[in-house]
Amino acid sequence: MPLLLDLQPDAYPLLGYRRKQLLEWVFVHGAPSFDDMTNLPLPLRAELTEQYALNPFSRTETVESSDGSVKYLFTLFDGRQMEAVYMPYLDRKTICVSTMVGCPAKCAFCATGSMGFGRNLTPGEVVGQILAVSWHQGFSPREMRNLVFMGMGEPLLNYDHTIAAAKLLLHPQALGMSKRRVTLSTVGLAKGIRKLAAEDELGIKLAISLHAPDEETRQQIIPTGQANSISEIMAAARDYQAVTGRRVTFEYAMLSGVNDSLWQADMLADLLQGLVSHVNLIPMNPWEGSGFVETPEHELQAFYDRLENRGVPVSVRRSRGRDAGAACGQLALKQPGAVAGA
């Protein structure tokens, strides 16, 4: 049975004001079933139920963090599982969504990479994460104003479905998000970055998971580095900026004794010269069996200071949801104290 959420708004069944009602039930009210769409005639609801699936998940479980973040574990109808993370702030609601079951990139410091690759998610399975979280949290899906494609998977390896999902996020008849509040994070696939730059109508933000400025270190911790050299990634980033005019963010997980030396900070600053960029230093989030340790605070500060003194815009991103296994690099279907949901 086809998933309704895989369709763009213009392709939704029904016409005229009935289509508008259907779209509002899905994206404004976050209705979990067609039966909840009470202003649609009962025979029409029955027909939609027979022809389309609305909820992409057979089961939803949650793990709550002490900082207010919530990790969602979704079971798909083929039995595979993936996760999303909801992060409430005083002034905004943010969600980190997955684009794959598992991840083929196999970054050594990332728990998701240790799972291997299951399959790509469809556009509806990506967008469905927002609708499900909103419904469980008790607010309209359109109140979710910030989204990052930083969960399980490499978005640019599921390019078509990720872009289709992004179009649903931005479409005024769907979730109506601002392109300035949607970020796609990639491990650094040069061809995909250039392809993304050509998506004129999107204009979403780009984050590149660099994690090391020298080839030897990067290839040790990121296997895809063998196919995408740092020089190729940086050239693609410059092309992206030339086409879009947008700043590029670089993610940098701080791994003790691996990529946190001051000479590496200097090399990173050299790489970024002439590029409008921002560096997010991310203290490594621990997970069982990783083999890595987070950089001590004083050494992280020294790395930060070196970049700042070199004129590089830099910040430290303290990941939320650590105690729930929901922080960056921790998503691996772990369920400490999981609570079954509807």
**96 labelled binding-site residue:** no
What is the structure's pLDDT at 114? 74
Q: What angle do CA 139, 145, 149 make, to 5 degrees?
A: 110
Dump pLDDT digits (tens) for 98-113. Answer: 999 988 888 888 877 7
What is the structure's pLDDT at 250? 98
Residue 14 near residue 136, CB atoms below 8 Å:
no
Instruction: Clarify whether 83 is annotated catalytic.
Output: yes
Dump pLDDT digits (tens) for 126-156. Answer: 999 999 999 999 999 999 999 999 999 999 9
Catalytic residue among 83, 125, 251, 294: 83
What is the structure's pLDDT at 327? 46
Domain residue ranges of the chain, discontinuous segments joined by +: 1-54, 55-324
- With a cut of 80, say whether residue 320 has pLDDT above it: no
- In this structure, the strands spanning 93-96 and 146-149 are parallel
DSSP 3-state of 279: strand
Percentage of the chain beyond pLDDT 70 is: 92
What is the structure's pLDDT at 319? 58
What is the structure's pLDDT at 187? 94
**110 labelled binding-site residue:** yes
Catalytic residue among 125, 251, 294, 328: 328
Dump pLDDT digits (tens) for 213-230. Answer: 999 999 999 987 788 999
**278 labelled binding-site residue:** no
Q: Which fold has domain 55-324?
A: TIM Barrel (3.20.20)
What is the structure's pLDDT at 339? 36
Give me the DSSP letters along 325-338. Answer: T-STT--SS--TT-
Q: Give the architecture-level CATH label for domain 1-54.
A: Orthogonal Bundle (1.10)
Dump pLDDT digits (tens) for 12-65. Answer: 999 899 999 999 999 999 999 999 999 999 999 999 999 999 999 999 999 998
What is the structure's pLDDT at 289? 67
- With a cut of 60, say whether residue 336 has pLDDT above it: no
Nearest-angstrom CA–CA distance, 113 and 330: 10
What is the structure's pLDDT at 59? 95
Mean pLDDT of the chain: 90
Residue 118 near residue 74, CB atoms below 8 Å:
no
- With a cut of 50, say whether residue 321 has pLDDT above it: no
Residue 272 pLDDT level (bands cut at 50, 70, 90): very high
**140 labelled binding-site residue:** no
Q: How far is CA 273 from the centre of its chain?
A: 27
Instruction: Clarify whether 297 is annotated catalytic.
Output: no
- With a cut of 90, say whether residue 308 has pLDDT above it: yes
- With a cut of 90, say whether residue 170 has pLDDT above it: yes
User: What are the beta bridge partners of residue 314?
Assistant: 279
Give me the DSSP letters along 73-99. Answer: EEEETTS-EEEEEEEE-SS-EEEE--S
Tell me which H or E stretch contains 302. helix 297-309
- With a cut of 50, say whether residue 172 has pLDDT above it: yes
**154 labelled binding-site residue:** yes
Nearest-angstrom CA–CA distance, 238 and 233: 9
Q: How far is CA 183 from CA 38, 124, 236, 237, 249, in A?
A: 35, 18, 17, 15, 10
Helix axes 190-197, 159-170, angle to 10 degrees: 30
Q: How far is CA 6 from the centre of its chain?
A: 18
